[in-house]
Structure 1
Amino acid sequence: MEVINANRQEPQLNLDINGQRSFVKYHAKLEEKPTTTVRFFDRTDFYSVHGADDCELIAKLVYKSTAFVHQLLPDEPDKLSYVTLSKANFNMAVRELLLVRNFRVEVYVRPGGASTTSNNWCLEYRGSPGNLIQFEEILFGNKEILVSNNLLSLQVRLVDGNQRRLGVAFVEQNDCQFHVLEFVDNDFFTELEAIVVLLGPKECLLPSLDGEYIAVKNLLERNNVGVTIPKRSAATPAEKNDLLQDLNRLIRFAKGQQEDALTFPEMQLTMAMEALRVAIKYLNLTNDASNLGHYEIKQLNLKRFVHLDSAAVAALNILPKPGTHPNSPGYHWQSILGVLDHCRTPQGHRLLAQWIKQPLRSIEILNDRHDIVQCLLESPGTLSTLHDDYLKRIPDVLMLTKRLLRQKATMQDLFRVYQVVLRTPRIVNTLLSLENATVKNVLCNAMKSFLEDLSGLKQLVEQVVDFEAIEAGDYLVKASFDENLQDMKNDMSRLLSKMERLQQKAADDLNMEKTQVRLDNVAKIGYHLRVTLKDDSALRKNKNYKILDVVKGGVRFTNEKLSEYSEEYSSLCEKYEEQQKSVVEEIIKVANGYAATLCSLNNELAQLDCLVSFAIAALAAPTPYVRPKMHKEGTGVLMLKDLRHPCLELQEHVTFIANSVAFEKDACNMFIITGPNMGGKSTYIRSVGTAVLMAHVGAFVPCSEATITMVDSILGRVGASDNIVKGLSTFMVEMIETSGIVRTATENSLVIIDELGRGTSTYEGCGIAWSIAEHLAKQTKCFTLFATHFHEITNLAETVPTVKNCHMAAVADAENFTLLYQVRPGIMEKSFGIQVARLANFPDVVVQTAQRIYSEFEDEYTEKQSQSDKELLDKIDAALERLTTTGNDVDINEAELSELVATFAKDIKNLDSEYFRALRSVE
């Protein structure tokens, strides 16, 4: 028997000894599961979790303590841990596991429910980060959907050499879209990583974990994407035919279009379509009627977007931590998305999160976005009206449309859709009042078109919804719409009139005005009368009335006749609701025909919300943002004047010191930045990357003036740390990230690199950093900010004219050390490591010892350098002597002389000298 122990404030699992042994035996026979899957057992009134690892996880997650872990058969060898959860705690745990921790969830039920004691459990519900369909009611219910529900499916085949051919299918379940793509990638899967960053899937389906898929799995896990191996992955001819049938059922065909998916060019992408087949089966899309006839299929065009690698996303703090809500403290300064996200609608939040991961390479679209943001900023009254009045009253149309499609919508949902259709024209008229051509063409025209298509839905709602009942808080079908409903409505009206007469009689009996005695209707109590607390004494003196309860709003009371009318009214309401169910079902079926148009209108409202959010972000900054002047790719200009970091300047007690950057093709394309730790090098280079990214999503930038050439990629390697979980050292992480930069960067890219080479020996690190900087400066010729502690690399500026040195200024004397956070031309002449240690409050004895050892090493190095210079000069003299002696004493011909000169050149090349290496690099 299973009961809830109220004293412990948690459900209690009570099984007799036989029941415990029976369940333990059943649990032992379950197939082994991954550690990232948690199994729940539905016990009707509550849930249980079993197994040491799952119990510890859930106990800490829900109860913050492992003290809530109990044992079945505690005194026997086969004892089994368990934790119980109420339904509310189960819902909370599922949300955390699926949306934040990227775990999988399985729920087992018994067909007989609580009435059976057998262990005839079966797996009823299954959810994963990319497959939330069966848990949407738990996860979202009537809440806002702020997360994407996306799934990636991959097929990989080895082709020539180190090349791999990939077939990719991406399923956007919220927007009902299939994206497919086939491409050739290198052995580092550079393009695949860009796709993962671009699409942001929570889960990826792979056929196996053998061969090429091992490297793919490592890449996915590095980017926090869960990996799933479906049980069946090989496609038989019959299953391929099943794919065509599934697509014909799922795809929304245009009017007049041949309803055969085989006519789509995407069907020629055989690997991608196989990946899509696996995804459709895994998600079981065809078994949900709401999916049928609503999906689109498109080829993904990667060239539309700026290439971002995962290192750049992390380096630029583009996204907040998983699970962070827009209303949480500090949200607006913890990430670039947070800085820009002032959206008022759930659809706006979702779209902005997509935009920030998909910066555009289309200068036309970006100019349109910048035009609209500028227009809104120039009309602050209109901006305020849109943000504070109109948009905040727009519900999540996507959620409402899903409820319509799944036949779960209520009359209240239908009325909320109607409100959107009513409010959107006000938004359109407000935008048209701006008299801006871009606003009209990009936003207004599309909204007006969709509103015309929705006019039929508007008329339907006005015909069937009882608006008078809504004012009383009831969402009912208009009685005149159905004869039976009309009869019941008339009876309800007569009862209400009788109750109002009883209200007047009560006022007379109590010697009060009718307005002093209220007729209220509350759930579970029904219709009753209420007076204020100060009139309580008059009520208690009258024996004809029964007091129900006393609340803050007054004293509730009734009499026998009112109770009788109230019960009869409640009975009629139940019959009315039962009768209107069939009517509502028919109405919802008709409303389903408008689902596609509602989704399109939803997208337009989301786009407006994002652009309004950009304008609000530009105004909300301590110093307002400016519009960037965008130039086409290849123009070769990047000028950011008085640049600030948008996250740091929003923090309290921070006065940000602005800096500038000026790159121009063939004049300067690289800054080598030196300076002390904590001096602002990382912040400076991140600020540049952040400003370029913001401009490429359509936002204004934190500068006083900005001219930005369109880039094809933003690549970064800032900071490094061990990734123990994935078995990668600091240096290996550096090399993986930097390898991707070298392979991907073109002359139209922006690269930011910080402290490269610190994960290995000093000389090796310096050599690697130098060679990469030289490659980017001379071969790639892209915009590059290269912050380093290896001062030797600054010599590159002497041999490559497009490389400039700059440093983060600091002032130090014997007692004081001040960081100025200003970028100045030239090289930082000395290191300030010991001053930074003093600034960090190291004990004086430690600082003094460090200074002494540093001085000793410096003296030793100077002595060795002098000796090395002397030896070098001796070697040069010897080489010259061999050349001149041979040439003077022997009569040689021209060929022999050439051989002597070549020998001399070889001697010089073999000298271990930075000077001669620099000379050779010029050649």
Structure 2
Amino acid sequence: MTAESISLQGSLFGDLAESPTNRKISPDSTKDDDFSDAELIKNAQARPRPSKSSTDIEPLDHPIGDENPQGSDLTNVSHHSDVEITQLTPVLRHYVELKKENPERILLYRLGDFFECFFEDAILLSQLLELTLTGKAAGKEIGRIPMAGIPHHSAERYCSMLIQKGLSVALCDQLESTQNKEGKLLKRGVTRVLTPGTVIEEGMLQAKKNNWLAAVLIEAKPDKNSYQWGLAYADISTGEFFVKEGIDLDALEQEIAKIEASEVICQQIDDRSLVKKWCPKNIELTQTAKTPFTLHEAKSSLKNHYKLNTINGLGFHEWELAIRAAGGLLAYLHETNPINSVERTRSDIPLEVPQLSVSNEALIVDAQTRRNLEILSTQKDGRFQGSLLWAIDRTLTAMGGRCLRRWLESPLIDLKRINARQEIVSFLVKESSLRQVLRKLLRSMADLERLSGRAGAGHAGARDLVAIADGLERLPLLAANLQSLPKKSPSWLIPLQNVDKDLLKLANTIRNTLINNPPLNLSEGGLIHDGIDPILDGLRNMLDDQNEWLNSQEEQERKASGNNNLRLQYHRTFGYFLAVSKSKANDVPSHWIRRQTLANEERFITPDLKTREGKIFQLKARSGQREYELFSDLRQIVGDHAHAIRKAAKSIAGLDALAGLAELAASNNYCAPKILDSKSGANKICIEACRHPVVEQMLVEREFQPNNIEIGDKTDLIILTGPNASGKSCYLRQIGLIQLLSQVGSWIPATKGLISISDRIFTRVGAVDDLAAGQSTFMVEMAETAYILNQATNNSLVLLDEIGRGTATFDGLSIAWSVSEFLAKEIKSRTIFATHYHELNSLAKTFTNISNSQVLVKQNGNDLHFLHKVVDGGANRSYGIEAARLAGVPKKVIDTANKVLERLENNN
């Protein structure tokens, strides 16, 4: 580790301003001192320092950055391509060269204490972040050009705002210190590229949500009539990596929408209409070169990243499109994680071996159904509060929150895996004391998945490593409390029941090396315990000697000046000085040199104090550099254990999710459903007193009205009728959510449940115009209906709310009738169809597997009371006019509507 490389230390936004190495030291002040390693080790041996005691090393100040004055004398040059590069100043010339290499990214260029940007980036930055647009002299021929900047210590916050807006940022940092560089340009280079899918910094990520980067490869099939695709997606912060292949662009769109990718990359596609067929509108798309997606380059990327001779051992070597997509993703990661131009090294972000994802291993829930059931966010405004995840999430760690979210995104269809989860939930519900002990241990557990990833990428700070040690030290306590779990526990709990001893040794190493509460800044020392390194101990001994001299000097100068109020002080900018009041300033000794005048005091230095100051700065610089070297070695050791830490973290996450589901079940009166394997031929849902898991938590003034549901034995389709606002849609949704929860392995909001495994859940609830695609409300409704009828099987759950209402009455009734017949006769899926077409009740007389249900309403004169109770039998009216009156429609309109209704009914 060289002195120049210290500017690269710490996190992405570490303190790169003036550190001890940047202090200018007079050569004459240290020429007689021996700071060699041998002498320092000898000093430490003669004066050993006790281990595990922190040393308070006084931090140094940072220089004030140069601020460019505001002005209106900017030239008309607003784009970097509008200038002749040879006419620019050296700094701006370098900026433009880097900007040409990163044309689509905002380039932040480190100058002193600020990250600056110029030309079009400055204008954009000032608009997006509401910053003042200033100017900078670009050369005699050019004049002043636009400039905007952000303080280096606030860079993470501002970059997070840019990332949230879907932009990418290239960070150009200083690659060497300012020491002895007066009059010369500092070496600078792009050290990090931030994009929505590649951030790993804590402040830019949602704690309980994965941040997926997806890579897509699309090729036309040999018949040219359809497309096949490969998909790779990874969470850079947690190391999870998945690959998949498929056919049909609609299926690809569903996959990308399901994972809610932050960023999608693909090879260059000239046909924009093709992109619109598979890339959701709200997803950030980045098109890259085609070369990384070729089979040869992709295999090379995989072998190089995982240090393999062949990719056959990865388990998907026969999936060519998946391989190419994975290779494209890895190439993009290397592009956004540049080589350190000083040390010629790259800290590769640790990714797990890609896992092949197969569609038939999970319950399929399409994007429309996820929106209708409000699984992860509400349908109306996309808020988290009011979603299913909001209602059931009782996890205590960020890892557990992400795990539960993934379970909801991909519920299980394997009976053994479902029962394995449910058994643990049931066990923890009964063993409440054990559940509370486990949750207490989990409550303060750090995010080991992301912390270990940052360590492996070389971005972790000292506090990150201490948090990792905290988490690892809890593993034996968790293991001791997990010995009584059911024997059929999921296999992923094994690393938690049998703790890896190497992880405990790692935690002990971190504890013995770092102080318990290290500073955020990594360059100024105060990180490492005494007794760890003899060179560091020798430096600290010398600093102690200097501090003793300072104390004696203060007393000596007091006697020499006759001023008992004199104080020897330190300022982060001006160094050491002697402070006296204004009234005593004229009576100071002749060897004092005035340094600064303030309103109430004068500050002086002496030649001896100035000489000692240089020695102290040099010792602090050496000490800070040595501590950083020791810290970097420790961080590398932790990074080497990233895979083992993440393995334990996944177990912790799963345990947290299951313990949270147990807490939910115990506190909300849930029951354990009996799950039936669909392979046995049983397709039924029999639930007593089921409730909506979200609505019941949001009701304040009254209790939720539970209802029963029985479908599947003799009945495949239920025609559900009843008034508007009576709760039909709520009933449909709660059935879908209970099906989902049961296949996650959770208990359900009911008193008893018998549920068969579904392969898919379909919903069609409401519709809106899609004007951009040229589709009316009715056309959207019909497209959704067609999708369901073409994809549903006899093992599916279909929930329909109003079909055919967007066209003429008889047209709509005919469509609703025929759809019902098709579902009952051909598909025979478990279906609930909520409708106002009361004529459909007569289907139950023709088809034995169709039955009628209704939502009860009570009418007293003009008063209408919704009972929200579902019973057998069909309703004969919808009370629409009464509902309109309750909504505030004028009385004249209501009276006219009643007359028209009476006339229509008589004529019919």
Counterpart of 2:500 in structure 1 is 451
Counterpart of 1:363 in structure 2 is 415
Residues 814-833 of structure 1: pairs in structure 2 closer than 5 A? 814-833=861-880
Counterpart of 1:218 in structure 2 is 277
Q: CA deviation at 1:497?
A: 8.9
CA contact (8 A) 1:201 1:225 kept: yes
Closer/same/farther in 2, CA of residues 825 and 195 from structure 1, 3 Å limit? same
Aligned residue among 416, 421, 425 for 2:476:
425
Are 1:183 and 2:246 matched, yes or no?
yes
Q: Which structure is higher in RCO with an 8 Å CA cutoff and minimum separation 6?
A: 2
In 2, Cα distance between equivalents of 1:734 and 1:54: 45
CA RMSD of aligned residues (A): 4.8
Q: CA deviation at 1:422?
A: 1.1
Are 1:314 and 2:371 matched, yes or no?
yes
Aligned residue among 706, 711, 729 for 2:758:
711
Secondary structure at 2:360 match in 1: helix
CA contact (8 A) 1:155 1:274 kept: no
CA offsets 1:191-225 (integer angstroms, 9 cap, x no match): 434433543323333446567x8466334326x43
Are 1:393 and 2:448 matched, yes or no?
no
- Choose between structure 1 and 2: higher helix proportion: 1
Q: CA deviation at 1:381?
A: 2.5
Q: CA deviation at 1:234?
A: 8.7
CA contact (8 A) 1:204 1:226 kept: yes
CA offsets 1:228-265 (integer angstroms, 9 cap, x no match): 33243696xxx543322211111266xxxxx3225655
Secondary structure at 1:479 match in 2: coil
Counterpart of 2:36 in structure 1 is none
CA contact (8 A) 2:261 2:283 kept: yes
Tell me the amino acid that sits aligned with residue 320 of structure 2.
Answer: T
Secondary structure at 2:216 match in 1: strand
Q: CA deviation at 1:644?
A: 1.1
Aligned residue among 263, 271, 282 for 2:321:
271
In 2, Cα distance between equivalents of 1:139 and 1:827: 55
Residues 699-778 of structure 1: pairs in structure 2 closer than 5 A? 699-778=746-825
Unmatched 5+ residue regions in structure 1?
A: 1-9, 73-79, 254-258, 505-519, 529-557, 863-923
Counterpart of 1:486 in structure 2 is 537
CA contact (8 A) 1:805 1:827 kept: yes
CA contact (8 A) 1:106 1:123 kept: no
CA offsets 1:491-519 (integer angstroms, 9 cap, x no match): 55678899999999xxxxxxxxxxxxxxx
Tell me the amino acid that sits aligned with residue 849 of structure 1.
Answer: T
CA contact (8 A) 2:763 2:799 kept: yes
- Which deviates more from structure 2 when the two are superposed, residues 836-845 or residues 422-431? 422-431
Q: In the comparison of the two structures, how many residue pairs are matched?
A: 760
Aligned residue among 844, 857, 875 for 1:797:
844
Closer/same/farther in 2, CA of residues 842 and 299 from structure 1, 3 Å limit? same
Secondary structure at 2:394 match in 1: coil
Q: CA deviation at 1:840?
A: 0.6
In 2, Cα distance between equivalents of 1:343 and 1:527: 52
Residues 133-172 of structure 1: pairs in structure 2 closer than 5 A? 133=199, 136-137=200-201, 139-140=203-204, 144=207, 146-159=209-222, 164-172=227-235
Aligned residue among 649, 672, 677 for 1:627:
672
Counterpart of 1:604 in structure 2 is 651
Counterpart of 2:310 in structure 1 is 260
Are 1:95 and 2:153 matched, yes or no?
no
Closer/same/farther in 2, CA of residues 755 and 37 from structure 1, 3 Å limit? farther
Tell me the amino acid that sits aligned with residue 148 of structure 1.
Answer: N
Counterpart of 1:545 in structure 2 is none
Secondary structure at 1:95 match in 2: helix
Closer/same/farther in 2, CA of residues 664 and 753 from structure 1, 3 Å limit? closer
In 2, Cα distance between equivalents of 1:127 and 1:293: 17
Residues 461-610 of structure 1: pairs in structure 2 closer than 5 A? 461-465=510-514, 476-491=527-542, 574-610=621-657
Counterpart of 1:230 in structure 2 is 288
Tell me the amino acid that sits aligned with residue 132 of structure 1.
Answer: T
Closer/same/farther in 2, CA of residues 573 and 269 from structure 1, 3 Å limit? same
Tell me the amino acid that sits aligned with residue 202 of structure 1.
Answer: S
Q: CA deviation at 1:779?
A: 0.9
In 1, Cα distance between equivalents of 2:435 and 2:576: 45
Counterpart of 1:897 in structure 2 is none
Closer/same/farther in 2, CA of residues 47 and 684 from structure 1, 3 Å limit? farther
In 2, Cα distance between equivalents of 1:503 and 1:825: 95
Q: Could you tell me the percent identity over the aligned residues?
A: 23
TM-score by length of 2: 0.73
Unmatched 5+ residue regions in structure 2?
A: 1-66, 85-95, 137-143, 177-181, 340-345, 556-568, 578-602
CA contact (8 A) 2:686 2:709 kept: yes
CA contact (8 A) 1:178 1:296 kept: yes
Aligned residue among 397, 416, 422 for 1:345:
397
Secondary structure at 2:833 match in 1: strand
Closer/same/farther in 2, CA of residues 581 and 21 from structure 1, 3 Å limit? closer
- Which deviates more from structure 2 when the two are superposed, residues 153-162 or residues 84-93? 84-93
Tell me the amino acid that sits aligned with residue 867 of structure 2.
Answer: L
Q: CA deviation at 1:684?
A: 0.4
Secondary structure at 1:827 match in 2: coil
Q: CA deviation at 1:304?
A: 1.2
Are 1:405 and 2:456 matched, yes or no?
yes
Closer/same/farther in 2, CA of residues 527 and 81 from structure 1, 3 Å limit? closer
In 2, Cα distance between equivalents of 1:347 and 1:503: 54
CA offsets 1:300-341 (integer angstroms, 9 cap, x no match): 22111001111110011001269999xxxx95x511111122
In 2, Cα distance between equivalents of 1:110 and 1:427: 43
Counterpart of 1:335 in structure 2 is 387
Counterpart of 1:516 in structure 2 is none
In 1, Cα distance between equivalents of 2:629 and 2:122: 48
Q: CA deviation at 1:823?
A: 0.8
Q: CA deviation at 1:292?
A: 6.8
Tell me the amino acid that sits aligned with residue 306 of structure 2.
Answer: I
In 1, Cα distance between equivalents of 2:866 and 2:145: 56
Tell me the amino acid that sits aligned with residue 345 of structure 1.
Answer: T
Q: CA deviation at 1:440?
A: 6.5
CA contact (8 A) 1:193 1:309 kept: no
Closer/same/farther in 2, CA of residues 839 and 478 from structure 1, 3 Å limit? same
CA offsets 1:268-310 (integer angstroms, 9 cap, x no match): 3223333333333333368573437744133222111001111
In 2, Cα distance between equivalents of 1:659 and 1:788: 21
In 1, Cα distance between equivalents of 2:792 and 2:454: 46
CA contact (8 A) 2:265 2:329 kept: yes
CA contact (8 A) 1:149 1:174 kept: no
CA offsets 1:363-411 (integer angstroms, 9 cap, x no match): 1121121111122221222322332x31122111123212221223344
Q: CA deviation at 1:648?
A: 1.1
Tell me the amino acid that sits aligned with residue 301 of structure 2.
Answer: D
Tell me the amino acid that sits aligned with residue 668 of structure 1.
Answer: T
In 1, Cα distance between equivalents of 2:618 and 2:121: 51
- Which deviates more from structure 2 when the two are superposed, residues 460-469 or residues 627-636? 460-469
Q: CA deviation at 1:50?
A: 8.0
TM-score by length of 1: 0.72
In 2, Cα distance between equivalents of 1:638 and 1:206: 43
Q: CA deviation at 1:84?
A: 5.5
Secondary structure at 1:657 match in 2: coil
In 2, Cα distance between equivalents of 1:264 and 1:857: 69
In 1, Cα distance between equivalents of 2:202 and 2:425: 37
In 2, Cα distance between equivalents of 1:234 and 1:441: 38
CA contact (8 A) 2:853 2:873 kept: yes
In 1, Cα distance between equivalents of 2:359 and 2:513: 47
Tell me the amino acid that sits aligned with residue 140 of structure 1.
Answer: M
In 1, Cα distance between equivalents of 2:742 and 2:571: 54
Q: CA deviation at 1:178?
A: 4.1
Secondary structure at 2:354 match in 1: strand
Closer/same/farther in 2, CA of residues 228 and 764 from structure 1, 3 Å limit? farther
